[in-house]
Amino acid sequence: MADAKVIPFDDDRSRGATGKAAARRRGPGGRRRGGEPVAVREMAAVPVQEPAPALDAEAAGESPAPERLGGWDRKIAGGLAFLRRRITGDYDVDEFGYDKELTDQVLMSLLRPIAEKYFRVEVKGIENIPSEGGALIVSNHSGTLPLDGLMMQVAVHDNHPENRHLRLLAADLVFMLPVVNELARKAGHTLACAEDAQRLLESGELVGVMPEGFKGIGKPFSERYKLQRFGRGGFVSTALRAGTPIVPCSIVGAEEIYPMVGNAKTLARVLGFPYFPITPTFPWLGPLGAVPLPTKWTIQFGEPIPTDGYPPEAAEDPMLMFNLTDQVREQIQHTLYKLLVQRRSVFF
């Protein structure tokens, strides 16, 4: 019978393999099974091992493949690529100055921990915001400083299935302040005028407006959660012209971040501000008094009010605008009361 062919592991071990196999055949362990020595069968059954790979890519001085990068490596690589694009100017902004990449990578990343960890924003009714196309989100305004608009922007982006961006309409004062002006435009905010709002809506954007304006965020703490006048209903006219739905939004929790117990009107006129707030902590504690209280927030989006069923001339009908404005205002106010009844605590 011919001996089984044994594939050697290396040259040294292959020498004298026949003699060793013969010695094993003569011993008690050399019994034959199926006409073949046991030792030879066991050696033949050993799989052939591939040569050990050379030094890996990192040890050899090569750049590791992208799929081998860890979580932090990917973040660092993405950050470096982002900085390179900013330095070389290889990024896009729209006609309003909106920088989507900067908003996603930087501004949202800065605001997100405040929304999730500090104010612990709870979002309800996000399904009422359409997945595509324009829509006008109308909300109450409060809090002494306009943090509620920023939190609403994060809430829409992070909770909507399509991660849609909210383009806020801001007051003139926002675009008169240095640094704030540039950041606001980069984040997608634009001047609160009918022309800009209509262009955004017709291009399929989500637009956010807070019709109370400074009357809302500058009202005293004793009037919290009582909606102020909604202007002349210009936002309704804009939605009618664009044929987009109006989504009412109610925010609870912002009223208590800076309880406004007084207003230094003389100082406000000198500084050119609509009001100068006095709170239990500001200006008494200096910069520390500007830190908002960590209240628990709830943002609820109501059922949309359609406007596409009206004729084109409806945007010029003052009675229709008044009725729709009152309908939106009543829906927001009713939801505020309902959320306040359900709230167990201001902070928890």
Secondary element (H or E) of residue 303: none
pLDDT for 22? 39
State both tokens at 156: 């829409």
Q: Who contacts 197 (Cβ-Cβ below 8 Å, separation ≥6)?
A: 136, 169, 190, 207, 209, 235, 238
CA-angle at 114, arms to 78 and 334, nearest 5°: 130
Report residue 167: phi and psi, to 5°.
-100, 110
Structure-model confidence comparison of residues 188 and 52, the more confident one: 188
pLDDT tens digits for range 235-268: 999 999 999 999 999 999 999 999 999 999 999 9
Q: Who contacts 140 (Cβ-Cβ below 8 Å, separation ≥6)?
A: 148, 210, 212, 216, 225, 227, 249, 250, 251, 332, 336
Is the whole model's pTM more than 0.75, yes or no? yes
Cis check for the bond before 283: say yes or no (omega within 30 of 0). yes
pLDDT for 79? 79
pLDDT for 76? 84
SS3 content of the chain, % helix, strand, coil (to 5): 45, 10, 40
Q: What average pLDDT does this structure show over 148-154?
A: 97
pLDDT tens digits for range 106-132: 999 999 999 999 999 999 999 999 999
State both tokens at 331: 């829906």
Q: What average pLDDT does this structure show over 50-66?
A: 45
CA-angle at 83, arms to 79 and 88, nearest 5°: 150
State both tokens at 98: 């909106």
